[in-house]
Chain A
Amino acid sequence: MALGELEREVMAQLWDAPEPLTVRQVHAGILAGRDLAYTTVMTVLDRLAKKKLVVRTTEDRAYKYAPAQSRAELTAALMFDALNGTPDQDAALAYFLGQLPPGAIQAALDATPKET
């Protein structure tokens, strides 16, 4: 399985979990009929931590991992990043189907409900 695909599945697990997970829990969740090494999951979690996408805490002498931001927060940040940008700073990051007025975008993003 491609590393990117694996990272996506690990993040999905962490986002869906109500509390921080251990490597073993993540491994068990992903395993579901697949032959995947425990150490691979550990490496993936390590990479995600380096990218500051997950935070690692120690609890009962075991490492636990939690997403740094909720899925909704990260999605909102990503969309804002795509919409943001004036030519004074950067070339447009992305090309939108409809060109939207920036004020409307900010307002719509603020209105997006954020889960906690």
Chain B
Amino acid sequence: MTALLLGALGLTLSLVVPGLLAPARWPDRAPVAAVLLWQALTLTAVLCALGVVLAAPEELTRAAGADHPWVVAALVFSLVVAATIVIRLLISLIKVSVRARARRERHRMLADLLDRAERHRELGGAEVRVLDGALPLAYCVPGREPRVVLSDAVLTILDREQVDAVLAHEQAHLRHKHELVMESFTAFYQAVPRPLRSRAPLDAVHLLLEMVADDAARRRTGPAPLRAALARLSDAVPLAEEAPADPAGESRRRRLDRLAGPAPRSTGLSALAGAAAVGLLVLPTVILIVPWLARALDAWPFRSL
């Protein structure tokens, strides 16, 4: 019964809830809490999967009779499967972060070489680099020595105030180490077998982190310059509107809408989402695993040895 409940909860959390949470609009008003909720959701789904694997054989064999010779084999098998899940997740996490570090390191080195230092002396910020290029791009490269990279075109189409807002946005990504959040979601995405994968959490969390950085920039420069910068940078990219079914356009609109209104005041909403996140993590563990653990310990086949 425990295994069934855990399985149902795990499937609900990994198949049904993301479908409800991803298109929801309330996270726009509490992006930090919503990121926490996504993290709790993912972690709880993993815990449920582990719980099912560990609980199911024990329950099945108990139903079949405790002295059944399959008991030990089933337990060993379930431990192996559980260990496989954990190890697969860990390997994925290590792989993703090692590769990202190597690529970023090389990228930083090249950005330093290509830097047109004379064009950003007055911008301030030792980590800012300016590259040639007619394509207006602004991005940050996280790491131990982070960089904020702007293309020349950004400096020509944005005024000083807007550039400052862009820098504030990128520096917020770096300061809050958003790359660690994205890496963990990417690692989870890669560890899930291909047919079961969903990009929904990854894309939703990405957009939420952009909103978190938007809010940080808004606090420093006010919403207007960032809003203008966002609109201008996207408008300046040719062919952007020709992309079919453009999800980036939709997320850009959501960010622009947020910046058009007053700063979100959503302590209640944040508290609610935060509580939901904690509840998600704790509840299944407490309600489902603990009683199972108590019974399983009583029925542990090695106890009599």
Secondary structure at the B interface, as helix, strand, loop or mixed, is helix
Chain B: CB-nearest residue to A88: B190
* Chain A residues in 8 Å Cβ range of B151: 79
Q: Are B248 and A97 in contact (CB under 8 A)?
A: no
* Chain B residues in 8 Å Cβ range of A74: 110, 113-114
* Complex interface: stretch among A3-11, A16-24, A31-39, A55-63: A3-11
* Chain A residues in 8 Å Cβ range of B179: 91-92, 95
Interface string of B25-59 (1 = CB under 8 A from A): 00000000000000000000000000000000000
Our count of residue pairs bridging A and B at CB distance below 8 angstroms stands at: 143
Interface string of B213-255 (1 = CB under 8 A from A): 1000000000000000110011001111011001011011000
* Chain A residues in 8 Å Cβ range of B134: 112-113
Interface string of B119-137 (1 = CB under 8 A from A): 0000000000001111101
* Chain B residues in 8 Å Cβ range of A75: 114, 131-133
Known A100-B234, A101-B243: A95·B113 in contact at CB below 8 Å:
no
Q: Are B237 and A108 in contact (CB under 8 A)?
A: yes
Is A82's beta carbon under 8 Å from chain B? yes
Number of interface residues of B (CB under 8 A): 62
Residue among A7, A95, A99, A101 with the most chain B CB within 10 A?
A: A95
Considering the complex, which residues of chain B in the window 251-286 have a beta carbon less than 8 Å from any beta carbon of chain A? 251-252
Residue from the list B133, B182, B189, B206 in contact with A79, Cβ < 8 A: B133
Is B13's beta carbon under 8 Å from chain A? no
Residue from the list B133, B140, B149, B249 in contact with A112, Cβ < 8 A: B133
Q: Are B114 and A91 in contact (CB under 8 A)?
A: no
* Complex interface: stretch among B14-22, B80-88, B94-102, B293-301: B94-102
20 chain-A/chain-B pairs, Cβ below 8 angstroms: A8-B115, A71-B132, A74-B110, A78-B107, A79-B135, A79-B137, A90-B99, A94-B142, A95-B178, A97-B229, A97-B233, A99-B248, A100-B240, A100-B248, A101-B243, A103-B242, A104-B243, A105-B135, A105-B237, A108-B239
